[in-house]
Structure 1
Amino acid sequence: MSTREDQLLQTVATLADSMVDDFDVVDLLQVLVEHCSELFDAVAAGILLVSPTGELEVIVSTSERSEFVEMMQLRAGEGPCVEAVATGRVVSVEDLRNVADRWPKFAADASRSGFASLHAIPMRLRESIIGSLNLFRDRVGTLNEPDAIAAKALADIATISILQQRLVEESILTQGQLQRALDSRVVIEQAKGYVAQSRGLDMDGAFQLIRSQARSTQTRLSVVAEDIVTGRLTV
């Protein structure tokens, strides 16, 4: 097996490992662009990701040159990388000197980049588009088909890893919120018992008193309940 095939398999294994082990997104994507730059017919690589606010941001890059081009596109609001994210389709530019009609603002800056061609692959899973993997070349021409297919496969694996991590984080957040809600309910029930016993009320009456205290002081019900249970508040 050739060294290049070994590298490709190693990259796949590294990305796949992230789907079961704890990982840092930036570290993962930095590994991806570095491997892509070594594996494929590209002199540099970079990744744009959609931020939580919906803005595109440069997240990793193998060189200042590629980061510069990506930043140019964000500034211009147009270009192959931006279009790949917007459309969810691969955008391959075989000659960056011939893009003035398509992206006039971007073309003016691209001429100073030193790159000759660019291949932008959307990081997409079904309807979710989270960014783009961008391969920069120092000579004109399209990326050869085997490289294009392999690069897309790596981008797909990274996309699945990132989306899976987001689901896990959301699940952990939801579980934490649920646990806090359950804990609060336990404290509220305890507070109702304290108030019912001390004021000679039934549980409904005790709860109405606690809720009235929370509303009048604009304090969360769980906080009022905790203060009652710990003796910091008497109602």
Structure 2
Amino acid sequence: MGNLPSNESLAEAFVRVAGGLTTGSDVVGYLGQLVDRSVAMLEVDAAGLVLADPQGNLDVLACTSEQARLLEQWQLQWHEGPVVDCYRSGRALAVADLGADRTTRRWPRFGPSCRGAGYVGLLAVPMRRHEQVLGVVSLMWCTAGGVDGAAVRIAQALADVATAGLLQWREQYKQKMLIAQLTDALSSRVVIEQAKGVLAERLGMDTEQAFGVLRGSARAGNRRLTAMARAVIDGVGEQRRAGPAPGSGRAAAGR
């Protein structure tokens, strides 16, 4: 790795990472900016980021190059490598020499593949909240020299700030989804109540019986209850717009 960034550069980077993700933001674009900024700040040659879904399956979300993306995908496919071990342990893992015998023994497929791609070392840092690991950021370099403790701390701090932003975004997104679901539920309830009133008047029954008819029709037609209710209301509206049926009203009275 090269020289460490200045305090001013660090402060600017943390501010941008912390404020880069808001409700409605492009998450993939945000994570892409994170790995780009990590490469620029720590002067490494490539970076990647994987995130876990609710079932704990990892997926590659951002990489600075196609080669780095392949290396990340191989780790997930082979279930071996620093990223996989970092995710399992929740601790940062630095590998100074990917060609060392012990590295090859530990990761028999990934070690030689990464070294063959030209990368000498790799640092994986977890994106975690308490004991929960959300994903892993990995940094790769092509020249010997390893990584010092200060660089590891900076990389981990960037990942921590990004994790906080990601969690906040998820919470805001959940709140938006919850509000939308509540609004939809209230709207559906209004439609269903209107349809119950229509059926009760049309069939000469109380609203509880009308609800039974509505629900039975929805099940028989394999339709959602709200969709069936809208069909009932729309059908009444179409009848009203069409006017009285032939033979009704005055015409019937004059027979």
The normalised TM-score by structure 1 is 0.88
The normalised TM-score by structure 2 is 0.81
- Per-residue deviation, 1:134: 0.8
Counterparts of 1:64 and 1:211, CA distance in 2: 53
Worse-matched range after superposition: 56-65 or 122-131: 56-65
What is the match of residue 201 of structure 2? 197
Worse-matched range after superposition: 185-194 or 68-77: 68-77
The residue type equivalent to 2:223 in the other structure is T
CA separation of 1:198 and 1:129: change in aligned 2, threshold 3 A: same
**Is the 2:5–2:42 Cα contact (8 Å) retained in structure 1?**
no
What is the match of residue 9 of structure 1? 11
- Per-residue deviation, 1:70: 2.0
Counterparts of 1:147 and 1:196, CA distance in 2: 73
**Is the 1:61–1:67 Cα contact (8 Å) retained in structure 2?**
yes
What is the match of residue 42 of structure 1? 44
**Is the 2:97–2:121 Cα contact (8 Å) retained in structure 1?**
yes
| Structure 1: stretches of 5+ with no match in the other structure | none
Q: 1:58 aligns with which of 57, 60, 66?
A: 60
Q: 1:85 aligns with which of 84, 87, 104?
A: 87
Whether 1:183 aligns to 2:187 is: yes
Query: Over aligned residue pairs, what C-alpha RMSD do you find?
Result: 2.4
Counterparts of 1:163 and 1:214, CA distance in 2: 40
Identity %: 35
Matched residue pairs, number?
233
- Paired residue secondary structure (1:211): helix
Worse-matched range after superposition: 85-94 or 72-81: 72-81
| Structure 2: stretches of 5+ with no match in the other structure | 240-255
The residue type equivalent to 2:104 in the other structure is A
Worse-matched range after superposition: 84-93 or 26-35: 26-35
Counterparts of 1:140 and 1:192, CA distance in 2: 75
Q: Deviations over 1:62-97 (max 9, x none)?
A: 234433432332332200012111221111111111
Counterparts of 2:144 and 2:60, CA distance in 1: 24
Write out aligned runs for 1:105-184 (5 A). Answer: 105-184=109-188
Q: Deviations over 1:41-62 (max 9, x none)?
A: 5222221222466433332222
CA separation of 1:217 and 1:58: change in aligned 2, threshold 3 A: closer
- Paired residue secondary structure (1:147): helix
